[in-house]
Each structure stands twice: as structure tokens, then as C-alpha cells.
A and B are shown apart, each in its own frame.
Chain A
Amino acid sequence: DTGVSQNPRHKITKRGQNVTFRCDPISEHNRLYWYRQTLGQGPEFLTYFQNEAQLEKSRLLSDRFSAERPKGSFSTLEIQRTEQGDSAMYLCASSASGGGRYEQYFGPGTRLTVT
């Protein structure tokens, strides 16, 4: 049973560049979540998908952020015109739905540094 995987693990980019991260959830999970975690803080919810449908977005998800899950399997998170304030760990989690299962399992995260 493979867990949630995220790529890349680290990304350094210059301010103004676009970046894209990928998340592969646990294979039988139909829900996928994106969170952002800054140093010394707990993760903050960004958005979540059930299958390919994006069901909820946080106010933290500005217009420069977009997430997709085109076939209900892997997901991508793109940040356009990066700013220094975007520097953070971006975490992906997945869960099953129904059957009384609510646990979210997290990947290792992608650490973004904007210089």
C-alpha cells in the first residue's frame, strides 16, 4: 500500500515565475486536499476535490492559485507570478468517502522557496 506522494519535494523559484506541484493520492481514495503550512504553524486548508470536482476553496486561494484533478486521480497545484509570501510547505492529503471513514493521510509535502 503506497501512501500519498508529492513531486517535487523541493522547489526554488524566482519571484514572478510560475510553479506547478503534483500530488498522487492513495489509489482507492476519491477525496484529495491541498493545504499550506508555514514555519511554526499548523497546515491551512486551501481546497479539496471529490473525484474530479473541486468542491471547496479557501479564501487563502487567491486568483494566482489554481488546482486541477482532471481524471479524478492525481492533482496539480499551480501558482502563477509567485511572490515571496508564497514560500511555504504545500501539503496534499487524501481520504476515502463514505463507510464512516474520515481519516486524511498526508504526503511528505513540497517545500517552495521564492527568492
Chain B
Amino acid sequence: GENVEQHPSTLSVQEGDSAVIKCTYSDSASNYFPWYKQELGKGPQLIIDIRSNVGEKKDQRIAVTLNKTAKHFSLHITETQPEDSAVYFCAASRNYGQNFVFGPGTRLSVLP
């Protein structure tokens, strides 16, 4: 079955700097890759996603890139703000959006 790895497990950046989180997946049939942000005591919140027929997608300060050949995808956050501090999860899915396999998460701390 699918296995998703995520690095780093923790990341601290200064406010205004960029943050990059990387994920790799094992199943070449995976075709949908969402990213979620989870704050303490809350459910995961979808922040951006990408499909296998697209190499890059951007939404304001957040971007995701996908390399199907290498089977990895990355989340890029620019101009980080303290409210970006949270745990971020990547996920992969076959069949466009059925059961997701999540990575173990990255705890991002943005220092003022």
C-alpha cells in the first residue's frame, strides 16, 4: 500500500522567512496530493492541493510543487507569519480523493 514520508518533523523559522516541507510517496498510481494545517485542538484544515497532471500550484503565500518521476511533492510558504505556526500534514490518494494516506506531520514554529 501507499506510504508517505514527510520531512522535517519540526521546523523553526523567523517571521518573514520562507518555509519548505517535503513529502515522498511510494505508490506511482497516486494522483491527488492535498496539504492540511492543524492547529491545537482542531481538525485538519485544507490549505492547498495538487493533482498529478499539474506540476505547480500557487495560492497567495502558499505554493505546492509535484515531481511525479521522483514521487515527491513540497509545500512552500513565503513571508511566514506567527499565525502560520501549526502542524502541517501532506497526504496522497489514488482514485482522486478517496481514502487519504497522511504523512506524520511537520510542526512549524514561526518566531516573531
Query: Which residues in A have some Cβ–Cβ distance to B below 8 Å?
Result: 4, 33, 35, 40-45, 48, 56, 58, 91, 95, 101-109
The interface on chain B, measured as residues whose beta carbon lies within 8 A of the other chain's beta carbons, has a size of 26
Task: Note all chain B residues with C-beta closer than 8 A to A58.
Answer: 99
Decide: B43 and A102 in contact? CB cutoff 8 A.
Answer: no
Task: Note all chain B residues with C-beta closer than 8 A to A33.
Answer: 99
**Helix, strand, loop or mixed for chain A's interface?**
loop
Decide: A102 and B32 in contact? CB cutoff 8 A.
Answer: yes
Interface centre among A4, A42, A43, by most B CB within 10 Å? Answer: A42
Decide: A40 and B105 in contact? CB cutoff 8 A.
Answer: yes
Which listed residue (A35, A56, A95) contacts B97, Cβ 8 A? A95
- The residue in chain A whose Cβ has the minimal distance to the Cβ of B93 is A102
Which listed residue (B46, B49, B98) contacts A48, Cβ 8 A? B98
